[in-house]
Amino acid sequence: MTFNDIKTEHIIKAIKEVDQNGIPKGRMPKKYLLEYNNEYYPPKYVFSLAYKYASGKELNPSKFWGMKKTNLLLKNLGFKILEIPFLVESSTEKNITIPFKKSLVIKMLLSALQYLPEERVKDVFSFTSSLLLTEKTKKSKSMLDPNKDPILELIGIADVEPFADKIDEELYGKL
């Protein structure tokens, strides 16, 4: 069997298997994505699964080439292959914008985290926590708009001289 024996229906079966079972450790995309129905998949992994549907056995990733040759075969079958812009320094497909897919980024982060030592995973968690705190702060500040709530314009006036001294004197007497 040759790679040219892989047909579109084999690729679609492979994509369905990825949808059902997910992407195993070490098989996340590194530089390219296969786009199908507005979802994104690792092309080399999908290709190795498609080989299984065409021949009866899955290809070991170390036994065949990936990237450009695999991508060319997938393109010839009518599939769209895109470079991952946030992992590739310069995209050859400059006019293509890949919609941000939170679920794919989460999968890729989880895959990458498995290779970090525990201390670095804690750093990632701390960084994520700080991002969440920043977002929470942004949301709470955006809710405080002096243009929408005139009372907010008055906040801070009590700190301005001589008003602040008079309040302190009134409350505590002369010090």
Question: Tens digit of pLDDT per residue, the chain (175 long)?
Answer: 677 788 999 999 999 999 888 888 778 787 888 989 878 888 989 999 999 999 988 888 777 776 778 889 999 999 999 887 654 433 344 444 444 566 767 777 776 777 778 888 889 888 888 888 888 877 666 566 666 666 655 565 545 555 555 666 666 677 6
Handedness of CA 161, 163, 165, 168 (dihedral sign): negative
Which pLDDT value is given to residue 61?
A: 79
How high is the pLDDT of residue 146? Answer: 61
Q: In the 8-state DSSP scheme, what is residue 155? A: T
Q: What is the pLDDT of residue 152?
A: 58
Predicted local distance difference test score (pLDDT) of residue 49: 93
pLDDT at 17: 93
For residue 170, the model assigns a pLDDT of 67
Strands (E), the chain: 32-36, 39-41, 80-83
Q: What torsion do the CA atoms of 122, 124, 126, 129 make, to the nearest 10 degrees?
A: -130
| Residue boundaries of the structural domains of the chain | 3-99, 145-175
Strands of the sheet with 32-36, listed across from one edge: 39-41, 32-36, 80-83
Please give the pLDDT value at position 39: 83
Cα of first residue to Cα of last residue in the chain, in angstroms, is: 95
